Structure 1
Amino acid sequence: MTDITTIGEVLIDLTQTGVTPQNVPLFAANPGGAPANVAVAAARLGASTAFIGKVGRDGFGGYLTGVLKENGVDTSGVRTDAAPTTMAVVTVAASGERSFRFVRGADSALTPEEVDTRLVEGTKVLHFGSVSLTAAPARSATLFAARHAREHGVLVSYDPNYREALWGSQEEAVEWMRTPLPLVDVLKLSDEELPLLTGNDDPEEGSRRLADQGVSLVLLTLGAGGAFYRWQGRTGQVPGVATTVADTNGAGDTFLGAVLSRLVRRGEKPLEGLTAPELEEILAFANRAASKTCSRSGAIPAMPTLAELEDGKGDA
């Protein structure tokens, strides 16, 4: 049995790194995509992971599949498509202001028929995000996988990572980001996403509204403030770890990958018998992992290994 299977986007983060003497922009093609990041983060922290998604039949697609394999992620659920591999392009103006744009491709072409149900049924946790809900047929494939997991007793994890550029309007985004909630056991969201999903920016009240919709464990990331949780009617906050930040890219995915990597150690039913003190230990571990990622540049390249955290080096 696999510990964690993620479904959704794996893509190229094409990030401007500077300019030539002729003022021509220079870009680095970094591996990215939140669900893929979570799979890698958890794998580096000792969990067995798999990824379901789609890449183009091009050099970027081969590169991304190779990165997943190099990090111990099962890629048997990765499909290829005639559409090019998806890219997220980040450009930097002379003023230093960044602009962000997705060039959608193969990731949104995954169909329900292409979802490997054996991977979904044979895992302790299925995780997905909201980027794959932004376009068909990937939207249908993601919801199909979540329903299939639920029907087979698999824990469902969801990160409604809001990307404004991918939605026609905020109203459309809110509608689809809320759609999977009845299927979800573990929800990780940021303080910016809480009011979108609940209409309330107070962690206590917002998390209560999510729990009322059936979400068992609500995790709210607060940046330097650490993480807030709601579990079995109890709430609490675990402080963050002070660090010199080089790059926050991938920190949230590292945090969630770390949480899930610890939960699956508990057995086939990761939430069964979980106590608040045990949860707080898990969140402290996840905060350390996210802090380590923030202290280094890049997302996947910056993610820590289990050895780094267990010997105390995770404290930046």
Structure 2
Amino acid sequence: MKKIFCIGELLIDFVAENQGSDLSKANEFTKKAGGAPANVACAISKLGGDSFFIGCVGNDPFGKFLLRILEDEKVDISMAQESDIFTTLAFVSLDEDGERDFVFSRGADRELVYDSSLKTYFEHNIVHFGAATALLGGTLEEAYSRYLFDGLTKNAFISFDPNYRVDLWKNKVDVFKRKCETFIEKSQLCKFSLEEALLLSSKENVEEACEVLHEMGTEIIVVTLGSEGTWLSTKKFQKNIASITVTPKDTTGAGDAFIGCLLYQIAKYPTIETLLDNEEVLTNMVTKANKAGAITTTNFGAIESLPTMQQLDA
């Protein structure tokens, strides 16, 4: 089974539960571990996979809390770094349907320094790039690009999730699109929300969006559609795969649970070529990943809500 390396941010989510989607009206916040790549690493580990987190936190109580959470979830944190800069914080509000509003206070995540010794671990394994803050500059962005090159030279399976956040890219959407293109071009798998797929392709429907994104280079595309399931697309076929019906409390981490579950399954598969030719296998993989995402929305907090394999099978 392949090892899975998740690169990007690890941060504190201060969550305002059941106080609407307007942060200005929220009064009480609960501290949660967050950051999309870290959530993905935990999702993989919780299912029994071999996951590693590569990112940076502050050398402060919040950073120590975050690393302890990952360690408790059996994620390998030996490649994580600590900085004298304060740990990154995100303030999240939730409305009655579990939908979110974000405000970031960015800190240590941007301080990740490239480590050339890690590339030997990537060989014939999986490298997942979650890009919520990774394309915003600093040494993190430099490390991010160099790890992509390392993954390619070591014949790793490359996965990319742009994790678009409006608050982080105000008046800079064109820059965001340009920076994502390199990763879309080089990745075998890309996971998008519908908003991201339409934004990055400049198209108005999911079918046309996927055609453009395939032309950029990526071979497998999954577009999460919330309660409507997931659009699965390769250069040979496109189809919508239904999810299960749940009553959502918090959608935070649902996409991370989805991609984590999908990568966990791909890690068992011998080659990308045989996977691309097997529509039935890919469909079954996405069906299970849909369940993982749906189950995660039924509780508050991302990491504590991630399902085990026993929950998925049930």
Whether the TM-score (by the shorter chain) exceeds 0.5 is: yes
**1:292–1:98 distance in 2 versus 1, CA, 3 Å:** closer
Length, aligned pairs only: 304
Report the Cα distance in structure 2 between the residues aligned to 1:83 and 1:228, rounded to whole angstroms: 40
Deviation for aligned residue 1:178:
2.2
Residue 199, structure 1, aligned to residue 202, structure 2: yes
The AA in structure 2 aligned to 1:252 is G
The AA in structure 2 aligned to 1:5 is F
Residue 8, structure 1, aligned to residue 11, structure 2: no
TM (norm. structure 1) is 0.90
**1:108–1:115 distance in 2 versus 1, CA, 3 Å:** farther
Partner of residue 259, structure 2: 256
Q: 1:39-84: per-residue Cα shift (whole Å, max 9, x none)?
A: 1111111211001000100011111111111111110110000101
Deviation for aligned residue 1:258:
0.6
Report the Cα distance in structure 1 between the residues aligned to 2:248 and 2:117, rounded to whole angstroms: 38
Structure 1 ranges of 4+ moved more than 6 A: none
Report the Cα distance in structure 2 between the residues aligned to 1:264 and 1:57, rounded to whole angstroms: 33
Q: What is the DSSP-based 3-state SS (H/G/I as helix, E as strand, rest coil) of the residue aligned with 1:177?
A: helix
Report the Cα distance in structure 1 between the residues aligned to 2:146 and 2:9, rounded to whole angstroms: 16
Report the Cα distance in structure 2 between the residues aligned to 1:76 and 1:245, rounded to whole angstroms: 34
Q: What is the DSSP-based 3-state SS (H/G/I as helix, E as strand, rest coil) of the residue aligned with 1:134?
A: coil
**1:72–1:271 distance in 2 versus 1, CA, 3 Å:** farther
**1:308–1:24 distance in 2 versus 1, CA, 3 Å:** closer
Moved more, 128-137 or 26-35: 128-137
Partner of residue 129, structure 1: 130
Moved more, 77-86 or 258-267: 258-267
Deviation for aligned residue 1:266:
1.4
Q: 1:101-140: per-residue Cα shift (whole Å, max 9, x none)?
A: 111111011122477334333x621001222112222111
Contact 2:45 2:74 in 1 (8 A): yes
Partner of residue 151, structure 1: 153
Partner of residue 38, structure 1: 40
Contact 1:124 1:270 in 2 (8 A): no
Q: What is the DSSP-based 3-state SS (H/G/I as helix, E as strand, rest coil) of the residue aligned with 2:127?
A: strand
2:140 to 138, 141, 153: 138
The AA in structure 1 aligned to 2:220 is L
Contact 1:218 1:229 in 2 (8 A): yes
Partner of residue 290, structure 2: 287
Q: What is the DSSP-based 3-state SS (H/G/I as helix, E as strand, rest coil) of the residue aligned with 1:272?
A: helix
Within 5 Å, which residues of 2 pair with 1:199-238? 199-238=202-241
Unaligned ranges ≥5, structure 2: 20-24
Report the Cα distance in structure 2 between the residues aligned to 1:104 and 1:62, rounded to whole angstroms: 17
The AA in structure 2 aligned to 1:34 is A
Partner of residue 299, structure 1: 302
1:70 to 72, 75, 86: 72
Residue 175, structure 1, aligned to residue 143, structure 2: no
**1:293–1:271 distance in 2 versus 1, CA, 3 Å:** farther
Report the Cα distance in structure 1 between the residues aligned to 2:251 and 2:117, rounded to whole angstroms: 31
Partner of residue 117, structure 1: 119
1:49 to 29, 48, 51: 51
Deviation for aligned residue 1:171:
1.9
Moved more, 104-113 or 78-87: 104-113
Report the Cα distance in structure 2 between the residues aligned to 1:147 and 1:201, rounded to whole angstroms: 32
Deviation for aligned residue 1:237:
1.1
Report the Cα distance in structure 1 between the residues aligned to 2:26 and 2:35, rounded to whole angstroms: 26
Contact 2:120 2:154 in 1 (8 A): no
Report the Cα distance in structure 2 between the residues aligned to 1:225 and 1:263, rounded to whole angstroms: 23
What percent identity do the matched residue pairs reach?
A: 32
**1:79–1:252 distance in 2 versus 1, CA, 3 Å:** same
Report the Cα distance in structure 2 between the residues aligned to 1:162 and 1:205, rounded to whole angstroms: 20
Report the Cα distance in structure 2 between the residues aligned to 1:192 and 1:92, rounded to whole angstroms: 19
TM (norm. structure 2) is 0.90
Deviation for aligned residue 1:271:
5.1
